[in-house]
Amino acid sequence: MSNFSNFKNLFSIPNETIYLCGNSLGPPLKSMGNAVNEFLEDEWGQELVKGWNSKGWFSQAKSIGNQLSTILGAQEDTIIVGDTLSTQVFQALTCALKLNSNRKYILTDSGNFPADIYIAQGLLKIFDGKYEIKIVDPENIIEAIDDEVAVVMLTEADYRTSRLHDMKKITEIAHNNGALTVWDLAHSAGAVPINLENAKADFAVGCTYKYLNGGPGSPAFIYVSPNHLNSIEPALFGWHGHIAPFDFSLDYEASKDIDKMRIGSPSIISFASLKHALDIWDDIDLQELRLRSIELSELFISEIEKLSLNFTLACPRDPQLRGSQVSFRVENGYELMQALIEKKLIGDFRAPNLIRFGISPLYIGSKGLPPTNPLQISVPPLNEMIHASGFTFSLNHSNPSGGKGDPVEPKDCILFILLFFVKSIPSFIQNR
């Protein structure tokens, strides 16, 4: 059983800050600075240009991809790291369309991240009307898959509501109808268990700066099923994707393996921070991470709803149908979130009225709560459990045996501080 409290100590989060925004940008490891400085001083600083060979920089796009493969349930040498998520969407989608060029539609849903749809819209201009985009409601995806669909392009976890698509089921239905799949894992990689091989996904892409904590702008990744590696030709030809890049031939010939999805020189400094962030995943059981995420999310939702505020749960009620994010629709959501951020509780807002809270057990916890069945805990009335002066306060909660638990330190609590601030937010907004 993973002891997630041990992981909490690895992350650098400012004192008295409750960070619930890892669904947008994960926090750094405390040791990240040392890892990057070691790269700057010992690798780049000492090896200079020799580092491409002596330190293996040239091969890191694949070696870090193999680190990700263990997290994403993929075979070795099927994931490459580099470039941006939009670039990887472009690569995956064009490859899929070329494999299914006799079909008409790119099928996606209204819950997809807009940038993915922008990429598809741009491709329509390149292909000059050969394809069309069909956008349906998320719940209508399955019935919309027919023999005219070339590619089903979906984000596994909705960026607003955290609603999860059933990757395995949808991929199976797509294949039964002759369509291919492109999965965006931006909001699910590092948050929920993923098994690309078991799901028989054709292509998958994702970013590494959210739940994987690689840092702002850390590189994206692309997965290609072994079934397609030999037959695909990427749309973007690049030096690093050439079968013999150092021959400097004027004619392009793509690599025969996943390297063919590479384009140009990656940011090796970003690789240094990403690799360091991924190293901790060797000790993380994704199934246990998922269970703890559900426990914390259920507790979070339950206690917010006890306040009888004008909050509408925007994510699925069933925890098996959502990722590791809790979302509410609320009037004055932007003002509310800004007030919370000002008080050092950091979530985020998405127009028109959605507030989002990312739940990552790696650095979020509730000290004193049992590892299972947190809803059995009896929580006293708010006015009885909060003694506050600014942000310096302590809380006591009852444990299942009826005794008092240890005081809950601010940084150890994901819940009670939010209750206090939400309770006081109307007057706070009014006085701004």
Can you give the residue ranges of every domain in the chain? 4-29+285-430, 32-283
Domains 4-29+285-430 and 32-283 share a fold: no
Residues 6 or more apart in contact with residue 148 via CB below 8 angstroms: 103, 104, 105
The predicted pLDDT at position 258 comes to: 98
3-class DSSP assignment, residue 258: helix
pLDDT of residue 418: 56
Q: What single string gives the DSSP state of each residue in 93-159?
A: HHHHHHHTTT--EEEEETTS-HHHHHHHHHHHHHTTTS-EEEEE-GGGHHHH--TTEEEEEEESB-T
> Which residue in 163, 262, 292, 356 is the catalytic one?
356
Concerning whether 209 is annotated as a catalytic residue, the answer is: yes
CA distance 326 to 82: 30
Report whether pLDDT(52) > 80: yes
- Are the C-beta atoms of 211 and 191 separated by less than 8 Å? yes
pLDDT higher than threshold 60 for residue 105: yes
358 phi and psi, to 5 degrees?
A: -85, 135
Angle among Cα 424, 427, 432 to the nearest 5 degrees reads: 120
Confidence label for 410 from pLDDT (cuts 50, 70 and 90): very low
Could you identify the residue written with the tokens 């690895």? 10
**Which residues pair with residue 330 across a beta bridge?**
311
pLDDT level of residue 344 (50, 70, 90 thresholds): confident
Which entry of 113, 131, 416, 421 is annotated as an active-site residue? 113
Measured CA to CA, the distance from residue 316 to residue 326 in angstroms comes to 9
In the residue annotation, 322 being an active-site residue is answered as no
Evaluate if residue 19 carries a pLDDT over 50.
Answer: yes
CATH of 32-283, one of 3.40.640.10, 3.40.50.2000, 3.40.50.300, 3.40.50.720: 3.40.640.10
Helices (H), 148-199: 167-176, 196-199
Indicate if the pLDDT at residue 261 is higher than 90.
yes
Separation CA 162–CA 191 (nearest Å): 11
Q: Is 356 a catalytic residue?
A: yes
Three-state DSSP class for 348? strand
**pLDDT at residue number 224:** 98
Q: Which of 8, 55, 210, 292 is catalytic?
A: 210
Whether pLDDT at 104 is above 70: yes
pLDDT-derived band of residue 367, with 50, 70 and 90 as boundaries? low
Fold entry, domain 4-29+285-430: Aspartate Aminotransferase, domain 1 (3.90.1150)
Question: What single-letter DSSP state applies at residue 431?
Answer: T
- pTM here? 0.87
Question: What is the per-residue pLDDT for 419?
Answer: 56
Handedness of CA 159, 23, 200, 87 (dihedral sign): positive
| 176-216 residue pLDDT tens | 999 999 999 999 999 999 999 999 999 999 999 999 999 99
Kindly indicate the confidence band of residue 366, based on its pLDDT and cuts at 50, 70 and 90. low
Of the candidate ranges 168-177, 254-263, 356-365, the one whose mean pLDDT is the lowest: 356-365
Segment 238-255 mean pLDDT? 95
Range from 323-332, 377-386, 399-408 that averages highest in pLDDT: 323-332
Pairing of strands 132-136, 105-109: parallel
Mean pLDDT of the chain: 86
Place of tokens 């509408």: 312
Q: Which of 109, 116, 158, 184 is catalytic?
A: 184
Q: How confident is the model at residue 247 (pLDDT cuts 50, 70, 90)?
A: very high
**E strands, 156-240, where?**
180-184, 203-206, 221-224
Q: Which residue among 105, 203, 209, 211 is the active-site one?
A: 209
Q: Is 104 a catalytic residue?
A: no
Active site annotation includes 184: yes
Q: Indicate the pLDDT class of residue 299, thresholds 50, 70 and 90.
A: confident
